[in-house]
Amino acid sequence: MATMITDECINCGACEPECPNAAIYQGGIEWEALDGTKHPPLSNDFFYIVPEKCTECVGFYDHEACAAVCPVDCCIPDPERPETEDALAVRAKEIHPEKEFPVELPSRFRKAASAPAAAPQASGAAPLAPTAGATMVAAPLRMARFGKVERKIEPLATPARRSGPSVDELPIDFEEALQIVQAGAPIGAGSRLVRLAVCLAQPLLGALPAAAKAKLEEAMGDRRIFSASGSTGFNIMLHVLLFPLLAMAFAVLAEGDSIYTRGLTNWFFLGMSISIAECVWRLREAVIRARPLSEVVWRGSIYGYALLPLALPLASRAGAARRMGEVGAEGFYGKETSFDEKRERERRYGEIYSLEERPDGWIFRLELPRQIPPSGVKDQLGVGGAMPDYDLTTRVLPGGLQVHGRVVDERLRTIAASAPAFPADFTTEVPLRERPLGYVQRYGNKLLEVVVLKVSAVEKLPRTANAA
Ligand code: SF4
Ligand code: SF4
């Protein structure tokens, strides 16, 4: 089925830039076919999807990207347009003839294919016990083979090391391990200042070459603070102001013009023309070729290369703390009283987590969903409002930490198979920069906490743990 947008759309526009096929258009805007011909809009009131261009994200993701970001979950499979995975794969290749697709295309159909097979295993699974002592009880946190990934996962920083054996759960109390790790000051606390500096310096940093901006964006890990596209926009605005001023200053200082002469106007327009020409050159994919934003190269300015020695150290320092501060450790019964729908959806993808690094280890916290998302079949299936605990599997590998969450209840897996933005499984991967020694974990109030100890902490372990 192609994906469609229902009349519940609130026209927020979040889905449009996510589509790899540029299949989503604002209501009232005509759409463009692959041959370049224009067609009347399919909706005048809401964003709409052109079925001929939608591949349900086959070829790009294992989920529908528009559904994943929609705040009101109104991007749904169109029951009038059933389509096979093969047909969608052919369409993806037609739309992107220049792209080299892998043999096994990313596809949401893997979700549908694997869900029923996984169900019998789930029936006997027990969720984690919500107690602090759950760390030592290994049974609920089974080490199982990982299930499918419902959302694109960033690869670990050191993929070559991922094949190493996983690190063991340590035979020590969670609180003890937490104390060992918390004894040292957080690494990268100072980088919060760096992050603020990067945020404020966006108009200047936008001049960096595209690759450097991408690296900085990745290091910051939060596009609200720094993004390649945003900083490029700020930099272009800066140039629109700066270039005319510089041209006029040149006229006054070098040419000896008076600031009261009309000739200065010509210098103003010269500066303005240069800034506009530079903007067109930098954003030529969007301005000249009308390509979607996802295909625009966020080029820098000529002097951007001179800023590289400043930007690259910033990227490494900002990256040290990029995963910090996302989660309130209070968990479910914290100060947050209002229900945040968008955050809840991100919890279902395992995206609300924090990683805090200290000299002797890391503290990882992951929030799990609290509510069952809206669905037309909820009443039919007799499920309530509160989300049952997920079946969680934690693995600590030499290159990083992985947590796999799995919806156990078969009725919920049925809902997940049809509801958008509700994967029945998720995998969260977080890179660790040093070799871990072992880990302990606990779960309670929809919050999973994992303390991973570094090799340097071995001296600080209680004797019993060392003996084991
Ligand atoms: S499902 Fe994917 S290809 Fe289809 S409209 Fe949504 S984002 Fe675009
Ligand atoms: S994300 Fe959802 S609500 Fe926002 S424009 Fe797209 S379909 Fe409409």
Closest residue by Cα to atom 8, ligand 1, is 19
Is the CB of 54 inside a 6 Å radius of any atom of ligand 1?
yes
Give the integer Cα–Cα distance in Å for 389 and 369.
8
Ligand 2: which of 7, 15, 42, 345 to mutate, most ligand atoms within 8 Å of CB?
15
CB of 235 shorter than 6 A to ligand 1: no
Q: Is the pTM of this model over 0.75?
A: no
What's the gap in Å between 250 CA and the centre of ligand 2? 49
Tell me the backbone φ, ψ of residue 429, rounded to 5 degrees: -120, 135
CA distances from 383 to 413, 416, 426 (A): 11, 13, 21
Q: Any idea where the domains of the chain sit in the sequence?
A: 1-107, 124-186+336-467, 191-319
Q: Which pLDDT score, from 0 to 100, does residue 18 have?
A: 86
Looking at the CA of 19, name the nearest ligand.
Answer: 1
Same fold, 1-107 and 124-186+336-467: no
Query: How many residues in the chain?
Result: 468
Would you give the end-to-end CA distance of the chain in angstroms? 55
pLDDT in tens, the chain (468 residues): 689 998 888 888 888 888 999 999 988 888 888 888 889 889 888 889 999 999 999 988 888 888 888 878 888 888 888 888 889 999 999 998 888 888 888 888 765 444 433 333 333 333 333 333 332 222 223 222 222 233 333 333 333 333 345 677 888 899 999 998 888 766 654 566 777 888 888 999 999 998 888 888 877 767 777 888 999 999 999 999 999 999 888 888 877 767 677 778 888 899 999 999 999 999 998 888 888 777 788 999 989 888 888 777 776 666 544 444 444 444 344 343 444 466 787 888 888 888 888 888 899 999 999 888 877 777 778 887 889 999 998 988 877 888 999 998 888 888 887 776 788 888 888 888 788 888 999 998 899 999 999 888 888 887 655 555
* pLDDT at residue 447 in the model: 93
pLDDT of residue 113: 44
CA–centroid distance, 130 to ligand 2, in Å, is 36
According to the model, what pLDDT value does residue 416 have?
Answer: 82
Q: Which pair of structure tokens corresponds to residue 62?
A: 């294992």
**So what's the architecture of 1-107 in CATH?**
2-Layer Sandwich (3.30)
Q: How far apart are CA 440 and CA 461, in angstroms?
A: 12
Does residue 316 contact residue 307 with C-beta atoms inside 8 Å?
no
Rounded CA separation 5/287 (Å): 28
Q: CB of 375 closer than 6 A to ligand 1?
A: no
The CATH architecture of the domain made up of 124-186+336-467 is Sandwich (2.60)
Atom of ligand 1 nearest to the CA of 22: 8
